[in-house]
A and B are shown apart, each in its own frame.
Chain A
Amino acid sequence: MNGVEGFMYPNEVGLQWSVLIVLYPFITGLVAGAFILASLERVFRVEAVKPTYRLALLTALAFLLVAPLPLQLHLGHPERSPEMYFTPHSSSAMAMFGYVYLWYLMAVLVLEIWLDYRRNIVLLSQSSKGLLRLIYRIMTLGSNNISERSLAIDDRVGWIVTLVGIPSAFLLHGYVGFIFGSIKANPWWSSPLMPVVFIFSAMVSGIAGVMVLYMAISKLRGQSIDIRCVDTIAMYLFYTFIIDFSLEMLDLIHRIYEADESFRSLNFMVHTRLYIPHIVIQICLGTLTPIILLGITQVVKLKEIVRKRIYSVAGCLTLIGIFAMRWNVVIGGQLFSKSFLGYTTYKMSLVTREGLLVAIFLTILPLVFLWALVKLLPPWSEKTKLPGAVAAS
């Protein structure tokens, strides 16, 4: 049969989960990671990353709004998806999705953003005109009190929400890892390390994503990049990446050393069909290269301009590497037969519901949402408008 090598069970030849299911953990990972970065400033008082605090929150929201779309588009009957809320199956990991998503969206992210922006929203509802004024007035939710005491309460509640948000972010993405890690039928997925690896890879992608976005947006706005901020972010990215890579290597070494019945099949797959996406793109290009680049900036004193360029390259490579990791998990896990006797091929279509064009659209859509959110709720306050000034102060 076309694209099949060896023996596949007859129902296994076509892949069930497509590139859209690759996008889903990639997007939720960015959400969780961006939020963790925001929490650095809010909870752990890492003042240096303050210029990215609001941008990180808005990035998380923009991506979270898109997160369910690839799943909806993948479902055979998307109109039945509300059943997951109304009649969830208590033994299913996937049944948790709706609740985790809603919790994270409404109880954490939207609430925190609203609390943080409330003062600005109230002021904008008074100063803007026309439709914008109406939008801002609705966004105030009738809460127009911006007295010192009121803002202090906002700050305190916001801190608590962030505190709750950190384990929630871990839950959001750890749960995605659990969906894969709990499938005992699939040895490529079945691992108790999977949720942990997913959490750390999420942090890596979110931190890298916000760092790249911050630098790109600063460039577009003609503003100078706060080098102290990106230095700090890069440092966190480097150490998180080391942990993430160590966990993935632990999983790999464990598999190689244990060499159970699936090993020969998986090993063959990694050296043939997954060689480019796994060895070349994920490990060499998307993991080792950025770790080495970031490592250099940690041990060698480089000029500011060089550091910025390294951070840009390392950030982009990291995002490519994490996307490749998601690809290798989702697609790689379906390329071999559960009989361990054969391999199939993933043929991505172009214009179908789960095709390449839709995937590209869903990748761009969060950036469009982010643009709209940034227009509506500018993340650069008076203090952070000139990052250089903040760094100097």
Chain B
Amino acid sequence: MKISRRQMLILLPAAAVAWESVLAGTPEASPNYALTDHWWSMLIDIPKCIGCGNCVRACQAENDVPDGYFRTWVERYHVSDENMTNPQVISPDGGKEGFPVVSGDEGKYFFVPKLCNHCADSPCTQVCPVGATFISPDGVVLVDQTYCLGCAYCVQACPYGCRFIHPVKKVADKCTLCYHRITKGLTTACCEACPTGARQLADLKNPKDPIHEFLKTHSVQILKPQMATGAKVFYNDLDGSVR
């Protein structure tokens, strides 16, 4: 096939754009990423969550999470007027394929996405006998899976049930806040896949991050504040019945 000079002039910019796109899909580590310039967290806007399970599927695909285990999941709460402290909660297969249709309209229903809270004072990192799990300088709780013994003490210590022992690797596994993505300027897989913007990655050290305005103007809570874990996943409009 012969390519004329004119065709070449048209193709070259197109190839350059395509190459840029490839680079965007598999970006290199940002040379300008400074660990101490960030303090990562996440904002969950409960009224926006529709329980579609996109986030769970995206997380499993992105991080190769084994079936039956979850780095993130979605719970559906049903709180009746008569028994507000004893909600009915379901999370079939972590909410991966959505939820069954509700029959009847008694009480209130809402969805609560869950993930590691990347606690600043995390009980899981405290108990690890070899320090294989740690909090990074930019505020993400990670596991060095080449070092973990697989003793499961961290799983016991997490108040939120966010950790598990990987059935094949036999080491502790959990949400990394898609560390491989966020250090390259991308957002997490779950945030990217959320169709309603119910999940927002936030950088508390970035003064321009919209989370600061959001925290000022909304009623925001963390899960199990009595545990004093310094959880960094913030929930907007969190019902008191949520555990």
Which A residues are within 8 Å of any B CB, using their own CB?
Answer: 7-12, 16-17, 71, 74-78, 80-81, 83-84, 87-89, 91-95, 97, 179, 182-186, 334, 337-341
Closest A residue by C-beta to B156: A183
Which B residues are within 8 Å of any A CB, using their own CB?
Answer: 68-70, 73, 75, 86-91, 93-94, 114, 123, 125-131, 147-153, 155-165, 169-171, 227, 243
Closest A residue by C-beta to B242: A339
Q: Are A94 and B153 in contact (CB-based, < 8 A)?
A: yes
Residue of B90, B131, B160, B227 touching A7 (CB-CB under 8 A):
B90
Chain A residues with Cβ under 8 A from B170's Cβ?
76-77
Q: Are A89 and B152 in contact (CB-based, < 8 A)?
A: no
Q: Are A11 and B149 in contact (CB-based, < 8 A)?
A: no
Q: How far is the CA of A94 from the CA of B131 in the complex (A)?
A: 11
Q: Are B152 and A338 in contact (CB-based, < 8 A)?
A: no
Residue of A77, A87, A338 touching B148 (CB-CB under 8 A):
A77
Residue of A71, A74, A77, A339 touching B161 (CB-CB under 8 A):
A339
Measured between C-beta atoms, what is the minimum distance from A353 to chain B in Å?
11
Q: Are B227 and A184 in contact (CB-based, < 8 A)?
A: yes
Chain A residues with Cβ under 8 A from B155's Cβ?
11, 16
Q: Are B163 and A75 in contact (CB-based, < 8 A)?
A: no
Residue of B89, B94, B129, B163 touching A341 (CB-CB under 8 A):
B89
Chain B residues with Cβ under 8 A from A88's Cβ?
129-130
Measured between C-beta atoms, what is the minimum distance from B133 to chain A in Å?
9
Chain A residues with Cβ under 8 A from B91's Cβ?
7, 9-10
Chain B residues with Cβ under 8 A from A17's Cβ?
152, 156
Closest B residue by C-beta to A79: B149
Residue of A16, A89, A337 touching B129 (CB-CB under 8 A):
A89
Q: Is the interface of B mostly helix, strand, loop or mixed?
A: loop
Measured between C-beta atoms, what is the minimum distance from A102 to chain B in Å?
15
Chain A residues with Cβ under 8 A from B90's Cβ?
7
Q: Are A94 and B127 in contact (CB-based, < 8 A)?
A: yes
Q: How far is the CA of A184 from the CA of B157 in the complex (A)?
A: 7
Residue of B86, B114, B171, B227 touching A77 (CB-CB under 8 A):
B171
Chain A residues with Cβ under 8 A from B93's Cβ?
10
Residue of A8, A76, A87 touching B151 (CB-CB under 8 A):
A76
Q: How far is the CA of A76 from the CA of B160 in the complex (A)?
A: 22
Q: Are B161 and A338 in contact (CB-based, < 8 A)?
A: yes
Q: Are A94 and B161 in contact (CB-based, < 8 A)?
A: no
Q: Are A11 and B161 in contact (CB-based, < 8 A)?
A: yes
Q: Are B150 and A92 in contact (CB-based, < 8 A)?
A: no
Q: Are A92 and B227 in contact (CB-based, < 8 A)?
A: no
List 6 A-B pairs, Cβ < 8 Å.
Answer: A75-B151, A81-B149, A88-B129, A182-B127, A185-B123, A185-B158
Q: How far is the CA of A12 from the CA of B153 in the complex (A)?
A: 13
8 closest pairs, A vs B, by CB? A76-B150, A9-B161, A76-B170, A185-B159, A89-B131, A16-B152, A339-B243, A94-B129
Chain A residues with Cβ under 8 A from B114's Cβ?
9
Residue of B123, B130, B164, B169 touching A11 (CB-CB under 8 A):
B164
Q: How far is the CA of A94 from the CA of B69 in the complex (A)?
A: 25
Q: How far is the CA of A92 from the CA of B126 in the complex (A)?
A: 6
> Are A76 and B129 also in contact (CB < 8 A) when A11-B69, A185-B159 are?
no
Chain A residues with Cβ under 8 A from B131's Cβ?
87, 89, 92
Q: How far is the CA of A7 from the CA of B87 in the complex (A)?
A: 10
**In the complex, which of the residues A71, A95, A184, A185 has the most CB atoms of chain B within 10 Å of its own CB atom?**
A185
Residue of A76, A95, A184 touching B123 (CB-CB under 8 A):
A184
Closest A residue by C-beta to B169: A76
Closest B residue by C-beta to A76: B150
Chain A residues with Cβ under 8 A from B88's Cβ?
7
Q: How far is the CA of A276 from the CA of B238 in the complex (A)?
A: 39
Chain A residues with Cβ under 8 A from B165's Cβ?
16, 76
Chain B residues with Cβ under 8 A from A183's Cβ?
123, 127, 156-157
Measured between C-beta atoms, what is the minimum distance from A133 to chain B in Å?
42
Closest B residue by C-beta to A98: B129
Q: Are B149 and A84 in contact (CB-based, < 8 A)?
A: yes
Closest B residue by C-beta to A91: B126
Q: How far is the CA of A84 from the CA of B90 in the complex (A)?
A: 39
Chain B residues with Cβ under 8 A from A97's Cβ?
129
Chain A residues with Cβ under 8 A from B150's Cβ?
75-77
**In the complex, which of the residues A71, A75, A88, A337 has the most CB atoms of chain B within 10 Å of its own CB atom?**
A75
Q: How far is the CA of A92 from the CA of B122 in the complex (A)?
A: 12
> Are A95 and B156 also in contact (CB < 8 A) when A184-B123, A341-B89 are?
no
Q: How far is the CA of A179 from the CA of B160 in the complex (A)?
A: 19
Chain B residues with Cβ under 8 A from A184's Cβ?
123, 159, 227
Q: How far is the CA of A341 from the CA of B126 in the complex (A)?
A: 26
Q: Are A84 and B129 in contact (CB-based, < 8 A)?
A: yes
